[in-house]
Amino acid sequence: MTGMVVGAVIGLGALNVMALIARNSGRPFDQTTLTSDEDVLAQVATWAQANGYHLASEAGPNRVYRKGKGFLTAPMFLEVSRDGNRYTFRSYTRINGLIIKGDMALSGGSFVASVPRAMARKAQNLLFAQLHAPPIH
């Protein structure tokens, strides 16, 4: 029983350290901007449904899509904002250490949340290719 408690405390500590690393990375998101006269929001909605993302919030021209609950992997996010025919995308994953939360860009070579970041990068690059936007590396 003591071993289980010690293991849980160590695991929680490690998760909070990863969240702290993410929060202090200086890169909380990747940003992509494009200009299009097409209905980009409809294309994003279709992509989201096909890739397991759901609309987490919508406020005027801003939409936030999320994949995952954060139980076994860090949740993945795609934010889309529209200003006329200009669209801005923010891509990131969130590490929730219960005490500390940190957002981290999908690009880069950090080991922190590398699996969900790679999964989100792959899915979101499919969308960016469809929209003729530069991929996340």
Q: Which homologous superfamily is 2-130 in?
A: Kinase associated domain 1, KA1 (3.30.310.80)
Using DSSP bridges, classify how beta strands 62-67 and 54-59 pair: parallel, antiparallel or unpaired.
Answer: antiparallel
Smallest CA-to-CA distance from 19 within 78, 103, 75 is with 103
pLDDT of res. 16: 62
**What pTM, to 2 d.p., does this model score?**
0.86
Specify the pLDDT at position 11: 67
What pLDDT is recorded for position 123? 98
* Rounded alpha-carbon distances, angstroms, from residue 42 to 26, 45, 79, 131, 134: 32, 5, 14, 11, 19
State the DSSP H helix or E strand holding residue 2, giving kind and residue range, or none if neither: helix 2-23
Amino acid at the residue 136: I
**Cβ–Cβ under 8 Å, residues 48 and 57:** no
The candidate with the shortest Cα–Cα distance to 96, out of 75, 82, 112, 65, is 75
**Could you list the mean pLDDT of each consecutive 10-residue stretch along the chain, which spans 137 residues?**
76 64 78 96 97 97 93 90 97 88 89 90 98 96
The answer to whether 44 touches 66, Cβ cutoff 8 Å, is no
Summarize pLDDT for 35-48 with one digit per residue, the tens.
999 999 999 999 99
Per DSSP, the residues of 21-83 read HHHTSS---EEEEEE-SS-HHHHHHHHHHHTT-EEEEEETTEEEEEE--SSSS--EEEEEEEE
Domain ranges (residues) in the chain: 2-130
- Tokens representing 95 are 């590490």
